[in-house]
Amino acid sequence: MSFLKAIGGAVRRKIHQRELEAAIRRYAQHHDQNAHTKQSFADTGTFRSQLDRLFTVGNAAEIAELTRTAEAVSASTLTNRYYRPADYLSDILDDLERHTFLTGELEGEAPIASLAERYQRELKLKAVLEAWLVPFKVVVIESSLVTYSRIVGRLLPYTALQNFERVIARLFAMADESELKLVQEHVASFLKRWRHSNPLKVRFPEPAEAVRDALACLNGEKTPDGTSYIRTRRPDAARRFSTIVPEERQHYLYATLERWNLEP
């Protein structure tokens, strides 16, 4: 099965060869770097390897969106020290390739490879790209990584910073633009407290663990305290961030982030 999948991927890349080469040229123009050279901070590979993934995921009908994605990733990460283009594109592709909870659908959004109907693929692609292709989100992700580097520094191994990048990007992807400042402020405050609190270090051996706890709440795997009154869009919907009625989303988000302040 994996052999057939590899063959299918090679065929799709061949179909998209022109667009792939154009994306590589734009990357080189933007960043003055070779797309085959590993520039990734979080070890997600080269930009070229992520482009291969991108054009394997899509089909001929999705070419415009795939091309726009590659261009947006190159343009949005021009000044980044930590959140590099390969990392950014890898995070987008991870959400395309896995089950996500972005639109309020009761069962969430299945991996795009499992979707046969064109309208289903369009909805999945639209949900993921709307969550990720927001330039200001890239800014706050980079800012949080700078804050981590400044506060935590070399206190933890390099892999802890890699782990933090992966999960903090997902956290910001789930938030609306109006919610980004609240998340960013809580992240910065938590990092400062974690640096000087032994009880917090016992509870969360590395900051990425705290972010994973928040993601579990937002995905409905855990329930923050004091949120039983919060309404979902449908009575039969699981209580998670994407199903909360708009006027109560911020309350749920605040309760989720406040879990970082609980005593162990």
Q: What is the pLDDT of residues 105-115, one digit of tens each?
A: 889 999 999 99
SS percent in the chain: helix, strand, coil, step 5: 70, 0, 30
Here the tokens at position 10 are 């090679």
Look up residue 66 and give its amino acid: L
What is the per-residue pLDDT for 9? Answer: 57
Here the tokens at position 63 are 């070419």
Q: Are 183 and 171 in contact (CB under 8 A)?
A: yes
Q: What is the pLDDT of residues 201-253, one digit of tens each?
A: 999 999 999 999 999 999 999 999 999 899 999 888 889 999 999 999 999 99
pTM comes to 0.89
What is the per-residue pLDDT for 133? Answer: 96
Here the tokens at position 208 are 């990425």
What is the per-residue pLDDT for 10? Answer: 60
What is the per-residue pLDDT for 41? Answer: 65
Look up residue 96 and give its amino acid: L
What is the per-residue pLDDT for 18? Answer: 77
Long-range interactions of 71-79: CB distance < 8 A, separation 24+: 71/23, 71/26, 72/133, 74/23, 74/26, 74/27, 74/30, 74/31, 75/30, 76/133, 76/135, 76/138, 77/31, 77/138, 78/30, 78/31
Return the bridge partners of 150, or none: none
Residues in the chain predicted with pLDDT less than 70, given as ranges, are: 1-16, 39-43, 263-264
What is the per-residue pLDDT for 124? Answer: 96
